[in-house]
Amino acid sequence: MPLIAFNMTSDVFVANREDSMKQDYLKHDATGLAGLVARGEVSPSELLDTALELSAAINPSLNAIVVDGTEAARRNIAQGLPEGPFRGVPFLIKDLGMAAVDFPSNNGSKLTVNTQWPQDSSMFARVRETGVVTFGRTASPEFGIGPATEGQLNGAPTRNPWNLDHTPGGSSGGSGAAVAAGIVPAAHGSDGAGSVRIPASSCGLFGLKPTRARLPSGPFAGEGWAGMAIDGFITRSLRDSASFLDACKGPDLGAPYDAPAMAGTFAQAIQRECKPLRVRYCTTTLAGESIHEEAVQAVLKTARLLESLGHEVEEFVVPAQLRVNDMMHAWTKIVACGTALSVTKALQGASLKRGDVDGVTWGAVEFARDVSGEAYLDAVGEVHAFGRRMAGLLTEFDVLLTATLASPPVKVGALKPVNEDFWDYRNGPGGVFEYSPFCVVYNASGQPAVSLPLHWSADNLPVGVQLGMPFGADEALMTLCAQIEQAAPWYTKQQEIIGALFPAE
């Protein structure tokens, strides 16, 4: 910690020490904060107090943290934290899934308020062993539906620290907003159609969706959305994500399948030299439709960067046989059925009333009533067929570069979950897939994909770029990301908004 002058009254000394600690906290990633704890320069309790102070100051504007777990956090510190890579670092988990005994969840819905868990999920057990101090849950839309974090349970929408009029994305929007604002350096997210990458793009952060089954999902959940959903992390730095992924990777007991074995670790991957790769970039959607000019500029800027780093870079021509819209239509049926199942389980035999859920959820349940068993299985088959088409595509080159979203983050309310026509909400004009046409591609294929914070719009809104690679190529993707982070570091830009929110006193 910085030296502090001692020729002052004790009250002034304390105030200056607290501000100095806050500014140090805001400048470090999770790895850096853990280093301070390991060297005895700061205690876990002091870091937690700082995180709580920051939350108290900014969360009323963001509505990012919606479940308070401070009591459990202090108890866990008192009982002794595991000696993991992030010992003492404040952390937040998403209010969706992630079963944790100490942290009841709501899943963004009035139907599942204060859900208690009899044991920790495999994922949370591994997160806990990293030594983090979890102190709450972050906002999610109801049952994770949608790329904006809005819904009746949490009252006000969750807002983007870069501009409060805009969404931080979804469904891990609360996590994205909390990390971007500096409340925590990293947070848990989950990704069934881009729900880690969308907030990462919208908030200027790093977000990786690893290969399907790279991370555990049990014991209370199996395949989320027919295998399209997976947990993950939203971080400011690449090294933080690498350490979290290393700590959590691998199947849980009874998992039906596992991801291909890795040659090493994520941490080792970011230390390797990146070999020249065949990169193809796309400035339209993968259905050939136009996207926002800022998204185009983000892709072109990244393409030039990759070319300067020695990679073979060419424009990608979307093949007609990819048929991405067929996959998206199948995805709509699968997610409607998954949402209806969640609602049915929550009701426990009671009848669903319109005011019980958001309009989109109501619409999903109604839509699912008309999806027969045969139609559901046909939809799963179409998603798997699309995965095979993507696998074939990525034998022709190594990396597909696109925007993460088709535009900068939209304004709050643009994707408010009130449309009871679920098909229209997803597939219609101004709907979800028009805004987020790229992310779900990799949920369907199971391939790894990442959003990198490499561009900001003329209005100073983050615009992420997405890199996708073949199934199982997580290490190669991380190695490429490390090369990019070194060539075009994003730390200073991230600190710009944190410094604006919390100027030094």
The residues annotated as belonging to the active site are 94, 171, 195
- Both tokens assigned to 396: 């022709």
Q: What's the distance, Cα to Cα, between the start and end of the chain in Å?
A: 17
CA dihedral over 113, 115, 120, 123, signed as positive or negative: negative
Instruction: Say how many C-beta atoms besides its own lie within 10 A of residue 492's C-beta.
Output: 8
The partner residues of 466 in beta bridges, in order of sequence, read 402, 451
User: What gap in Å lies between CA 109 and CA 98, rounded to an integer?
Assistant: 15
**What angle separates helix 474-487 from helix 238-248, to the nearest 10 degrees?**
160
User: What gap in Å lies between CA 163 and CA 160, rounded to an integer?
Assistant: 5
User: H helices within 63-196, ranges in order?
Assistant: 70-79, 122-129, 173-181
Nearest residue to 58 via CA among 162, 201, 204: 162
Stretch (H or E) spanning 202: helix 197-203
Helix (H, G, I), strand (E, B) or coil at 61: helix
Contacts of 295 (CB under 8 A, 6+ apart): 403, 405, 406, 407, 408, 463
Q: Residue 105 — φ and ψ, nearest 5°?
A: -125, 160
User: What gap in Å lies between CA 162 and CA 22, rounded to an integer?
Assistant: 20
User: H helices within 309-393, ranges in order?
Assistant: 324-347, 359-368, 373-393
- The two beta strands, 312-315 and 278-281, are parallel
CA dihedral over 187, 189, 194, 195, signed as positive or negative: negative
Instruction: Say how many C-beta atoms besides its own lie within 10 A of residue 87's C-beta.
Output: 17
Asked if 417 and 151 touch (Cβ cutoff 8 Å), the reply is yes
Instruction: Say how many C-beta atoms besides its own lie within 10 A of residue 381's C-beta.
Output: 11
Contacts of 426 (CB under 8 A, 6+ apart): 328, 331, 332, 335, 432, 433
Instruction: Say how many C-beta atoms besides its own lie within 10 A of residue 489's C-beta.
Output: 12
CA 453 to chain centre: 13
Helix (H, G, I), strand (E, B) or coil at 467: strand
Nearest residue to 227 via CA among 447, 436, 373, 444: 444
User: What gap in Å lies between CA 230 and CA 215, rounded to an integer?
Assistant: 7
